[in-house]
A and B are shown apart, each in its own frame.
Chain A
Amino acid sequence: MELLAFGKTGWGDELLYATLMTVAVSITAMFVGFFFALIFTPLKLSKYKSLNLVGNFYTTVIRGVPELLVIYLFFFGGSGAIMYVASIFGYYEYIEINAFITGSMAIGIISGAYSTEVFRGAIQSIDKGQFEAAKVLGINKFGQFYKIILPQMLRLAIPNLSNVWQITLKDTSLISVTGLVEIMRQSYIAAGSTRDPLFFYSFAAVLYLLLTYLSMKLINKLEIRYSRGY
């Protein structure tokens, strides 16, 4: 138990920070994912075949390639790509991106592919009459989406989004390979210096279980909130 003590003697405070880091990366990645979903869901639902192709390319490639490979691409290629873009604007100094940004971008792009599929499914399962009724009532395009479609879509999407959240939360363990100190990395460091990997990795498992359990509780509440009237 003294291994988990706070302060200089134990690993308690380090692991607490690492847990917060995991949560922070997961939430950031989830929002990055929503941003990508916002771009690619309309593409997948578009009337134009070429736009569909772009949307399908994104979701198929990201969901068909291991997360770890995507992370390596970002880890090794991220600063190179940024420097290339900067060189177009005449900036030639070395740019290093921090591990948090690389990690949440990589996980975000992965989570975005899953979110895109969820939103696409949710929009497609809304009754066609709803779109038509909104149009007939003369509501503008913006209002149609935000007042009519979005609230109904969220109700259908939340159960599946909770799955995406679970996947994202677990995927963040993979960015430990880039050196970002989240639960997995911290456990690795602690296991290395105390020579007690069994304890620390099991404790990491408990932390992840706790996170998934608590987030499920929270999501269930959201689900009830958005199902009012059904």
Chain B
Amino acid sequence: MDFDLMITSLPKLLGATVITLKLLSASLFFGLFLGLFFAILRLNKNIFINKFAYAYSYIFRGTPLLVQIFIIYFGLGQIEYLRTTVLWTILKEPYWCAIIAFTLNTGAYTSEILRSAFQTIKPGIIEAGKSLGISNKIIFYKIQIPIAIRQSLPAYGNEIILMMKGTSLASTVTLMDLTGVAKYIISTTFKPIEVFIVAGGIYLFMTFIIHNIIKYLEKKYSFQQ
């Protein structure tokens, strides 16, 4: 065991954790809206809209995240037309490509989580709202969405942790996130176990924090039985 290396690599790895957290929070933020949007489309009665939303979630959940990042980072740059548009200023940055890929990926999983949450809301609750003369729009925003969010908290907590692990793939498109820096230190010092313990410890610590936040929220918003 090389304890000196563990101590000297800790600040470098903690610095890289900032990038990991930035990637995570940005993709979760955009992904939540995307997921909500597609969950609503899934509940639409129009079969084409419905099928479109289903295809989105099926494709992004059925392929590895690595393929999605590579298509966006390496693939899209190949389209000549894209290079002339404003979009190119975003797509040429690996940082934004990673965020786009993560957002699309987590959006697909989130849409599934929210859809099943919407579907488990008892019809009686919506009917009660209707009989009180509340408009459909307000029923949706004030009754369905809060219940669905509470319902989906445990599953969404898992998704946050999965996404945190997913951000490690940013290192494959030259970003120096926690895994990227860990790999760099491993390949220069050739001490994989020491670096794994430190980097893995940081990831585990983040998992622990996320887990506890979700647990706290679950308790706070639990239904009165």
Contact = CB atoms under 8 A, between A and B. Distances in A.
Contacts of B125: none
Interface residues of A, number: 37
A201 B69 CA distance: 10
B8 interface: no
Given A68-B168, A69-B179, A202 B75 contact: yes
A72 B183 contact: yes
A191 B62 contact: no
Contacts of A197: 70-71, 74-75, 77-78
Contacts of B192: 72-73, 76-77, 80
B47 interface: no
30 contacts: A60-B204, A64-B207, A65-B204, A66-B164, A66-B165, A66-B168, A66-B179, A67-B165, A67-B168, A68-B168, A68-B171, A68-B179, A69-B168, A72-B196, A77-B196, A80-B190, A170-B65, A173-B67, A176-B66, A184-B66, A197-B74, A198-B76, A198-B78, A198-B79, A201-B67, A201-B71, A202-B71, A205-B63, A208-B64, A209-B62
A174 interface: yes
A205 B68 contact: yes
Interface of B: 58-59, 62-68, 70-71, 74-79, 161, 164-169, 171-172, 179, 182-183, 186-187, 190, 192-193, 196, 199-200, 203-204, 207-208
Nearest to A216: B62
Contacts of A188: 70
Given A69-B203, A76-B187, A64 B79 contact: no
Which one of A72, A77, A209 has the highest number of Cβ atoms from chain B below 10 Å of its Cβ?
A: A72
Majority secondary structure of chain B interface residues (helix, strand, loop or mixed):
helix
Interface string A50-78: 00000000001101111111001100110
A69 B196 contact: yes
A111 to B, nearest CB: 14
B200 A171 contact: no
Q: Among B59, B65, B68, B196, which residue has the most Cβ atoms of chain A within 10 A? A: B196
Nearest to A64: B207
Contact of A69 (B62, B78, B200): B200
Given A69-B196, A171-B64, A184-B66, A209 B186 contact: no
Contacts of A204: 67, 70
Given A64-B207, A170-B65, 17 more contacts: A64-B200, A67-B168, A68-B172, A69-B168, A69-B182, A69-B199, A72-B182, A72-B183, A77-B192, A77-B193, A170-B64, A176-B66, A198-B76, A198-B78, A201-B75, A202-B71, A205-B63
A196 interface: yes
Nearest to B172: A177
The 6 tightest CB contacts between A and B, nearest first, are A66-B168, A198-B75, A77-B192, A173-B64, A197-B74, A64-B207
Main secondary structure of the interface of A (DSSP, over half): helix
A187 B77 CA distance: 16
Contacts of A198: 71, 74-76, 78-79
Interface of A: 60-61, 63-69, 72-73, 76-77, 80, 166, 170-171, 173-174, 176-177, 184, 187-188, 191, 195-198, 201-202, 204-205, 208-209, 212-213
Contacts of B187: 76
A191 B71 CA distance: 11
Contacts of A196: 78
A209 B168 contact: no
Contacts of B199: 69
A166 B162 CA distance: 14
A209 B64 CA distance: 9
Nearest to A188: B70
B176 to A, nearest CB: 14
B57 to A, nearest CB: 12
A184 B70 CA distance: 10
Nearest to B211: A64
